[in-house]
Structure 1
């Protein structure tokens, strides 16, 4: 078996239509190499934040209204000037070819079929141009701040040229989190998969396995600039007219600074629990950030969303949209583009169902009165 075969899932027969997103998780687990599964599922250190993201949603109580006309429930929304059929989108995750041979091209097709936003990672395993050619819904490009600023300037120019709608700067990763699963596995990206949009010389360390360490952490230490501050955002602004989204905000203080420094949107995110362990669950941080922004810019959320009812809670607490990370990869691993569309459609159908039973016929009717977030038991 080649290294590529060991890491990439085979294109096999499709799974039956799942009833819940967890069915996609089960199907994906059966198709992926154990090291890749750990890379997808794992978090930082004790993985407490990974669990806290889910536990926060379990503490939500829904407060339904009755005798409301819910004969039609509209899940459509507008985000940075683009109309979307669903407020559920796909968060940026690296190297989709690890889980399916068609990688981000299939993900883009699936997102397009669902009318959903797809945020493409800087570490995509297909070119920005090929992903754009496959897309039928808005694309945003996610960046880490590399030491090689020439590469960042090149990427934002390429993204604008082929129709990407925004630049998403991940701000919570001056170094890679301590991901013990990857270190134990000596995880590295096999030779058949690459970050298709970056100079191979920058990516060398990501392909060098070693005992007891993560090659991705080695790469990040080499390539990512940890000295970046708020003042550097002006440099990025000067090189692109695309809206700038900051991903990784968890506090009111940073939300206010983001608005002050010209961010066009914010993503409340703890990197799916993969960076600093013991940070707040994103749902717990959401209201603080929304209040600090005061409606100046849209706020999105990722981390722990596992269906439409979770999305309902986040939207009620002030998020404009929610992004799915691991579930999108489960769908891709299970059934390629159809699996990605299936994940998004299933979650959107669940959202519409929840809206109907809660007496909220459109997203504009969602507010904090729709939910109660119970205090965590100690």
Structure 2
């Protein structure tokens, strides 16, 4: 469970390091600058969502329905520097923030996963490596410090699933995050219309192509020629989607690893109860950033019900729609222990590689730190205990 600590951030968050970069100072600004520079297909892949993108938009708009009630001269932030450090599921973080798992980062910047791991490690915050990464688990792990988790798309091959998990644990992952909301890829017309990237091109398959179990299923190594690579892609296509995964699979996973298990993509209290009963130590309230089901409930709407259902037995994390420090505070005040942050740092990556990723996170972290001081929260635990929210008028 979450604990507030007195451990300082790995590297202090300084305003001058954000303003001197020449990069935009808001999430919206990062997106607009990146839109101008990125290839159309790559931008559509990152920015787009499912179908008419209603849920994508509503994830961000949901935060506008809450208002923070500041407490004048309340709290104990004597120095004006609130303590942001926490421990979530045994992972020490300089702030309650992790980089959300994003696949195929080679489309954004060469060696993207390595740069993201290094940037977040420098800041002392967490990162989550996607199964569909463009760099292998073994190469990213050493760059990612002591606070990275591995995200598992459970394939229709348990031997392969076990191999991926064991590789992640050997490489230093501190938790396994099972994504539950993606037994297949959602309908994403914006990316399709823009000629966006596809895993069927072989991008984002580094962890599969390097896996001994996956390779054992092939007649010849994928690097031996175009036909062999095509056979590997077809094998991947046949095992990626797995509509058969259920909470009981977590008991199988528990037999493969001693790491904490987190389930991402939980929006219903009954599902949260089921995965916690099956062995999950945490859940991530998420609708995949609006990329899977258009018209789905926003993650923020679902958060309080999930916290009520399992918050005393498991850590509840939040994903989908975070853009500002106030958003982080709202999510934590509603019971989340940490948030996953996604698209803005991807735009930072596109603009300036590792420095751009660090810049995007510094914007969020500096905003969080300052706003915590202004609302009277001396540490992260006090956000849930004392920050009051009211619903905005219709």
Report the TM-score range of the alignment, normalised by the length of the smaller protein. 0.7 to 0.9
CA distance in 2, matches of 1:191, 1:39: 14
Alignment of 1:310-349 (within 5 A): 310-349=327-366
User: Which residue is equivalent to 1:370?
Assistant: 387
Tell whether 2:69 aligns with 1:63. yes
CA distance in 2, matches of 1:175, 1:128: 22
CA distance in 2, matches of 1:147, 1:33: 33
CA distance in 2, matches of 1:251, 1:27: 36
Q: 1:250 aligns with which of 263, 267, 271?
A: 267
* Structure 1 residue 359 displacement after superposition: 1.0
Alignment of 1:100-119 (within 5 A): 100-119=109-128
CA displacement, residues 104-161 of structure 1 (integer Å, 9 cap, x when unaligned): 0001111111111100000010111111121224111101111122221111111111
Tell whether 2:206 aligns with 1:196. yes
8 Å CA contact 1:96, 1:125 repeated in 2 = yes
Aligned length: 354
Alignment of 1:3-18 (within 5 A): 16-18=22-24
Q: CA, structure 1 residues 361+17, in 2 after alignment: closer, same or farther (shift >3 Å)?
A: farther
Alignment of 1:1-378 (within 5 A): 16-68=22-74, 69-70=76-77, 71=79, 72-187=81-196, 188-189=198-199, 193-199=203-209, 223-367=240-384, 370-374=387-391, 377=394
SS at match of 2:73: coil
User: Which residue is equivalent to 2:7?
Assistant: none
SS at match of 2:162: helix
8 Å CA contact 1:116, 1:137 repeated in 2 = no
Q: CA, structure 1 residues 194+288, in 2 after alignment: closer, same or farther (shift >3 Å)?
A: closer
8 Å CA contact 1:60, 1:371 repeated in 2 = no
* Structure 1 residue 55 displacement after superposition: 0.8
Normalised by the length of structure 2, the TM-score is: 0.84
Q: What is the root-mean-square deviation of aligned Cα atoms in Å? A: 2.5
Q: CA, structure 1 residues 376+120, in 2 after alignment: closer, same or farther (shift >3 Å)?
A: farther
